[in-house]
Structure 1
Amino acid sequence: MPSRQPCTYILASQKQGMLYIGVSSDLAARIWQHRSGAAPGFTTQYRVYRLIHAEFFDDMAAAIAREKQLKRWHRPWKINLIEANNPDWDDLAVEWGIAEPLQKPSC
């Protein structure tokens, strides 16, 4: 998994949970920004931190075009895409070694 390559990615709050679609040229750094709260907004507010899908491209224009396409998709199409390659919605950032496992929130 290349970290410094244009990519489109999908984050989720949990399995079948809230989804966020983004684009980055440095996935590892972007995942850190989301998880650390350095990029406040939707993902921080709704705790959408699990990397569940990523697609890598040769150039940023292709990654941005794919991001725009995915954002127009209906939710069931996005879920089918995710589950085709990651049926258990595993956190790929942990599997690929670019992030530590998420801590369960304490009650």
Structure 2
Amino acid sequence: MNISIAKEFSDVPSGRYYADGEWTGEKFRTEYLAPKLKKADRQHPVIVNINDTEGYGSSFLEEAFGGLVRKENFSQDELNKILKIEANDTYRIYKETILEYIAEAK
């Protein structure tokens, strides 16, 4: 299962909560990412391509990915098995940030 944020969600993702705009981290997590992750397993992980957007704010990334632990009840260990982040060199810093948010979420 693959998700390209730029192609399937928005090339200008921003904001944390639904109230912050149309293409927020909460919307991405609840309507796109979490439903696919609930069907995923180690042999069929969800691959999220984060390339080709205008960039990412910390509020979007923390809510979308840290929220998987805080609000969707996934564990970090579980996400390490069923979630893969695909990023080219330009977006590698965002991938590292996503992994930090997942590790720090409680």
TM-score range, shorter chain: under 0.3
Greater C-alpha Rg: 1
- Return the TM-score normalized by structure 2: 0.28
Q: Which structure: greater strand fraction?
A: 1
Higher helix share: 2
